Structure 1
Amino acid sequence: MSISFVLVEPSRATNVGAAARAIKTMGFNKLILVGSELHLTPEAGWLAHGATDILESVEVMPDLASVRQRFDILVATTARERGTPRQFFDPQQLSQHLKQTGSASIALVFGREASGLSNDELESCDLFSYVPLANDYPSLNLAQAVMVYSYALSQTLSNIDASLSASQARADSGQLQALKQKAEALLVELEAGEDKKLKQWLLDGMARLGERDCKLAHQLLNDIKRKLG
Structure 2
Amino acid sequence: MPLSFVLVEPTRPANVGAAARAIKTMGFDQLILVNSTLHLEKEAHWLAHGATDILDNVKVVSSVEALRDNFDQLIATTARERGTPRQFLTPESLQETLVNQAGSVNRIALLFGRESSGLTNSELAICDLYSYVPLHADYPSLNLAQAVMVYSYALSQVNNRLRSISTKAEDGQLQALKSRTRNMLMQINSNEDPKLAQWLLDGMSLLGDRDCKMAHQLLNDISKKLD
Task: Give TM-score, length-normalised by structure 1.
Answer: 0.94
| Stretches of structure 2 lacking an aligned partner (at least 5 in a row) | none
Give the C-alpha shift of residue 91 in structure 1: 0.2
Q: Distance in 1 between matches of 2:152 and 2:32?
A: 14
Q: Distance in 1 between matches of 2:198 and 2:124?
A: 11
The DSSP-based 3-state class of the residue aligned with 2:200 is helix
Q: Distance in 2 between matches of 1:191 and 1:136?
A: 47
Give the C-alpha shift of residue 212 in structure 1: 1.7
Q: Which residue of 2 aligns with 1:117?
A: 119
Q: Which residue of 2 aligns with 1:80?
A: 80
Q: Distance in 2 between matches of 1:136 and 1:198?
A: 35
> Relative to 1, partners in 2 of residues 1:136 and 1:87: Cα closer, same or farther, differing over 3 Å?
farther
Match of 1:140 among 139, 142, 157: 142
Q: Which amino acid aligns with 1:101?
A: Q
Higher alpha-carbon deviation: 128-137 or 187-196:
187-196
Q: Which residue of 2 aligns with 1:130?
A: 132
Q: Distance in 2 between matches of 1:76 and 1:196?
A: 21
Give the C-alpha shift of residue 190 in structure 1: 2.1
Q: Distance in 2 between matches of 1:161 and 1:133?
A: 31
Match of 1:195 among 186, 193, 196: 193
Q: Which amino acid aligns with 1:102?
A: A
Q: Distance in 2 between matches of 1:138 and 1:128?
A: 17
The Cα RMSD (Å) is 1.4
Tell me the number of residue pairs that the alignment of Structure 1 and Structure 2 aligns: 225
Q: Distance in 2 between matches of 1:176 and 1:13?
A: 35
List per-residue Cα deviations over 1:105-143 (Å, max 9, x = no partner): 110011111111111111111111000011253410111
| Stretches of structure 1 lacking an aligned partner (at least 5 in a row) | none
List per-residue Cα deviations over 1:53-98 (Å, max 9, x = no partner): 1000100011111111111111010111111110010000001110
Task: Give TM-score, length-normalised by structure 2.
Answer: 0.95
Give the C-alpha shift of residue 146 in structure 1: 0.3
Residues 1:184 and 2:182 are matched in the alignment: yes
Q: Which amino acid aligns with 2:132?
A: Y
